[in-house]
Amino acid sequence: MSSPYLRSLLAGLVLCFAAGGPCHAEDVMVFAAASLTNALNDIAEQFSAKTGTHMSASYAASSALAKQIEQGAPAQIFASADLKWMDYLVEKKLVVADSRINLLGNRLVLVAPADSKLDKMEITPKTDIAALAGNGRISTGDPDSVPVGLYFRQAMERSGQWAAIEPKLARADSVRAALAQVERGEAPLGVVYATDAAISRKVKVVGVFPESMHDFIVYPFALVTGKDSAAAKGLLAYLSTNDAKAVWVRYGFKVN
């Protein structure tokens, strides 16, 4: 190594790697459902402005995140889009049961590309969703695991439409991926959360699913076992404060 400049650069790099991750003190790692992306990012900014603690987030389908936590991923807070995956981790004692809060709610909506010819309608159990899609497919999360897909499946099963709907589905990895497909016009219809439809200009809401058709959409938040640092606890607590609530509401979430 010739130049001393190069040497110190190398040393700095090594230190960074040794420290593990970005060279910030006190990061809180959050694994959160994809639908929380925009809102949670805003709240995290607020939090870091106030306390200097930054948030690192991984947004994906709750099922995928649960799997990763199960395999030892370094999450400190887990926010799921349904009860199922939180219960799953509670049962495995991978989250701190006492820290759990059922913080948010949401609505399930039917969306179409912004230039679609479909008009807004009232959705009832009798609404023939399959017919609405025509020859195209209905984009939503994988109904075997992704929460939004699971809710939709419930709605269809309860209204006896599941057999007709299932072959017409385009299964996405997460609700945001499903949203993207509708935005691109690849799918004439999609089933996402109301909050997702709200942030996208390229889709419009064609109808809202009555809450009787599916289980209430609940977002439980909890600390991951063994990773519940003071900073993590602090962030979790902050999510229920009035400042945070304002953000949740602004994005269209129901706050419990």
Q: Binding residue for other proteins (CB under 8 A) from 7, 158, 184, 250? A: 184
Min dist. Cβ of residue 67 to other proteins (A): 5
Min dist. Cβ of residue 74 to other proteins (A): 18
Q: Binding residue for other proteins (CB under 8 A) from 39, 55, 86, 172? A: 172
Span of 28-36, 116-124, 171-179, 241-249 interacting with other proteins by CB under 8 A: 171-179
56-115 residues in contact with other proteins (CB under 8 A) are: 61, 63-64, 66-67, 70, 85, 88
140-169 residues in contact with other proteins (CB under 8 A) are: 142, 144-145, 167, 169
Min dist. Cβ of residue 249 to other proteins (A): 31
Q: Binding residue for other proteins (CB under 8 A) from 181, 190, 207, 223? A: 181
128 binds other proteins (CB under 8 A): no
Nearer to other proteins, 50 or 184 (CB): 184
- Could you give the count of Cα atoms lying within 13 Å of 21 in the half-sphere of its Cβ? 11
Contacting residues toward other proteins, per CB under 8 A = 61, 63-64, 66-67, 70, 85, 88, 137, 142, 144-145, 167, 169-173, 177, 181, 184-187
